[in-house]
A and B are shown apart, each in its own frame.
Chain A
Amino acid sequence: MFRTLSILIKKEFLQIFRNRSILAIIFVMPVIQLVILPLAANYEIKNIKIAVVDHDKSTQSRELIRKITASGYFKMTHYGENYEKAYEEIEKDKADLILEVPNNFEKDLVRENSGKILLAINAINGTKAGLSASYLAQILQHYNRQIQVEIDPGAESSAETSGLEILPTFWFNENYNYRLSLVPGILAFLVTLISGYLAALNIVQEKETGTIEQINVSPIKKRDFILGKLIPFWILAMVAFTIGLFVTIFVYNIQMQGSFLLLYGFIAVYLVTVLGLGLLASVYSETQQQAMFIVFFFMMIFILMSGLFTPTESMTEWAKYIAYANPVTYGVDGIRLIMLKNSGVRDLLPHFSFLIGLGSVAITWAVLRYRKTN
């Protein structure tokens, strides 16, 4: 058995190494993408473009605007007295939000100790809108405390001293580095993409070119055939992962917190699962085109619903189940847990058991479904 298998693997490797473009994709693509893409993936919301409509034009309104723009989050791109004009700026994407200060703003503030302002926020992107509102609320809180002291110096003691201080701590990421939270996830994506596609396209290519017939008429066992396909890609994917890990550690300077042994053990299992799913897709398709579209369809869902781009918690109830049945969710989470948080085997038990379960189902299914005769 091992002799047949090793011959099959050798043949497979020869075939892979003959195709230069595939090699480039396995070894160069992860590096390039890992170097470039994390630069784009920055969620940090700053420089929110703000259009100011100031009907009051008073000292207080100017002070408020100064406070807001001095915070670093907001950048004033328009200043005027006409709401419609400001709204046009939003339509042209030249502003993200409108701050309207009403006529008697300063008067009300001095007389009744209260003032109203209107914020109209472009909320197509809900995250950005929510964060903008929340940043502004924080600035207003400080501003309110300040004017309270100005207006009523007697309030100083109560406003200043009974204050509440909120101390933020970002664990596992003290330097507040966005790359740290994204690069390991993108690394997981890349190995998933590469191994999934390669595995899916491979068997189909043999079907399409007809070479599979030759294998079918040979005495090779189904199991050996599938394993002979799986093992070379598994090895290549491990190499691709290693290259990506180098980039993560040396280019992005992300320090590995956990154990390399656990990380490699985890990735080894993860890749078997992904390859198994790729094989399953290839067993079910007749042409490379079909295989590619099937893989693409699932990849899109796997990647977008993995929790890296949008939090799993905020998904609709039924959608959470899809996220929990998604191998990429476990892949991304697992890499993060090991690399960034030094989580141990016990923390990863759910990940391991899910991946092993899904992988065995996929591979068994592929072996059973693969028929030597059509």
Chain B
Amino acid sequence: MKQLLTFVKKEFWHVLRDRRILLILFGMPVVQILLFGFALSTEVKDTRIGVLDQDKSQNSMELISKIGANQYFDIYENLASVSEAEDAFKSGKIKMIVVIPAQFAQNLNSDCKAKIQLITDGADLNLANQIYSFMSNIILDFYGEQNFNQRSGVQPEIRMLYNPQLKGAPNFVPGVMAFILLIICVLMTAIAIVREKESGTMEVLLVSPMKPYIIILAKAIPYFILSVLILISILILSVTVLDLPIRGNLLLLFGISIIFIITNLLIGIVISILTNTQQTAMLISLVGTMLPTLMLSGFMFPVENMPVPLQVVGNIIPAKWYYEIVKNIMIKGTGLEVLWKHVLVLFGMMIILFVIAVKKFKIRLE
């Protein structure tokens, strides 16, 4: 025990000495949480559009001013012809063009069907789809109010649960949190151990009377403590600066976060046992954890849309489960009654990784 303590102290000293890494370790989560929390939003707002009014009637002008008054859209260009439209799209300045054909008003007021064409830039289909949907609602709403009996038919009352202002932060912050903890734990431990191997100092440690598991433990503990501190600072920032709630049980969130942190440290240890150079360890950590986590954990893209094999792969990513847990506890305020399965999966992963680490480590020493 005393041995471990001295060793941990030494390792800690080692970590603290590298000021730059410390700055990055604490600076990165802070900057990223703030940046992504404030800046990223999938909400459609001020999308620049063009209008091509071939009718120039009272009706079409009213419609255009109605569209321009909406917060979703910003009328950027009045086009004179369809050929101009192509140029506008090619320069990337606008995302949609509302085409009001000649005789629009006449058709609308007589018995003919009036048409409006919405041309969107399909090169960004996700955005195109969203703005098409919003724009057609605005237009239909406008004419619904004008032409039919007011307030007739079924009117929905819409209540946005958990995030009434539709901010980006409630979705992004739990994701960034999972991501940052993952990267810091995996990369730091993976490299710290491989570095000793690469520089040859590992041999020295191994022939010392210290038990191998103590060496690994001593390497992991400083990063564990750092990760917990980072977790605390992220939570404080989310609550104070980003106004995110912690609706659920804070202790539960902490307990599960600790399981997640240990799981990630173990991933780092396993990678470092399997590799021999820092570069390989880093690249495996990055390729194996960063992109799959970003893409498959449900934080950027809806999981239910993915092909089944990818969903299966997504399920073996610890961050996916942790992300859902954080979202549930912080934003929804649910507890173990809903999350027990998630916690069990995460716990199981931790045990499996622990067994792998112990087994592999022994093999290398023989």
| Chain A residues within CB distance 8 Å of chain B | 19, 21-22, 25, 29, 33, 36-37, 39-47, 64, 90-93, 109, 113-131, 133-138, 140-141, 143-145, 147-148, 157-159, 161-174, 176-178, 180-181, 197, 201, 205, 285-290, 292-294, 296-297, 300-301, 304-305, 309-311, 313-316, 318-319, 322, 333, 336-337, 340-344, 347
Contacts and interface: CB of A to CB of B under 8 A. Distances in A.
Interface in B146-174: 147-149, 151-164, 166-168, 170-171
Interface string B107-136: 011011111111111111111111011101
A176 B159 CA distance: 31
A29 B46 contact: no
Nearest to B158: A119
Given A172-B121, A173-B122, A201-B282, A314 B43 contact: yes
B58 interface: no
A165 B116 CA distance: 6
Nearest to A175: B122
B282 A288 contact: yes
A7 B339 CA distance: 61
24 contacts: A25-B287, A40-B296, A41-B301, A92-B338, A116-B156, A116-B157, A117-B156, A119-B159, A121-B159, A124-B171, A129-B163, A129-B166, A131-B130, A137-B137, A138-B140, A143-B154, A181-B123, A181-B128, A288-B282, A293-B24, A310-B41, A314-B47, A316-B41, A337-B123
Contacts of B366: none
A347 B137 contact: no
Contacts, number: 341
B152 A148 contact: yes
Given A114-B153, A311-B127, A316-B39, A124 B191 contact: no
Mostly helix, strand, loop or mixed at chain B's interface? helix
Contact of B137 (A29, A138, A315): A138
A109 B120 CA distance: 37
Contacts of B191: 288-289, 292
B90 interface: yes
A186 to B, nearest CB: 9
B143 interface: yes
A297 B24 contact: yes
Given A40-B296, A311-B42, 6 more contacts: A118-B159, A119-B157, A129-B160, A143-B154, A164-B115, A166-B115
Given A25-B283, A42-B305, A174 B92 contact: no
B147 A162 contact: yes
Sorted nearest first, the 5 A-B pairs with minimum C-beta distance are A173-B122, A144-B153, A319-B39, A170-B122, A126-B166
Mostly helix, strand, loop or mixed at chain A's interface? helix
A148 B95 CA distance: 35
Interface in B35-72: 35-36, 38-48
Interface stretch (B201-209, B222-230, B231-239, B326-334): B326-334
Nearest to B153: A144
Nearest to A115: B154
Nearest to A101: B154
Interface string B4-23: 00000000000000101100
The winner among B39, B119, B140, B334 for most chain A CB atoms within 10 A is: B39
Given A127-B43, A173-B122, A133 B291 contact: no
B123 A172 contact: yes
Contacts of B167: 126
Contacts of B48: 313
B294 to A, nearest CB: 8
B43 A169 contact: no
Given A25-B283, A290-B24, A341-B90, A124 B158 contact: no
A205 B76 CA distance: 50
Interface in B273-298: 278-280, 282-283, 286-287, 290-291, 295-296
A36 B111 CA distance: 52
Contacts of B171: 124-126
B32 interface: yes
A170 B161 contact: no
Nearest to A21: B280
Nearest to A346: B91
The winner among A91, A157, A178, A290 for most chain B CB atoms within 10 A is: A91
B32 A43 contact: no
B287 A29 contact: yes
B38 A319 contact: yes
A311 B122 contact: no
B123 A340 contact: yes
B116 A164 contact: yes
A33 to B, nearest CB: 6
A123 B162 contact: yes
A266 to B, nearest CB: 14
B309 to A, nearest CB: 9
A289 B24 CA distance: 11
B144 interface: yes
Contacts of B95: 313
B122 A167 contact: no
A240 B140 CA distance: 48
B157 to A, nearest CB: 5
A230 B286 CA distance: 22
Nearest to A122: B161
B314 to A, nearest CB: 8
A141 B140 contact: yes
A162 B109 contact: yes
A43 B301 contact: yes
A271 B91 CA distance: 22
A168 B140 CA distance: 14
Contacts of B215: none
Contacts of A116: 154-157
A64 B154 contact: yes
B187 interface: yes
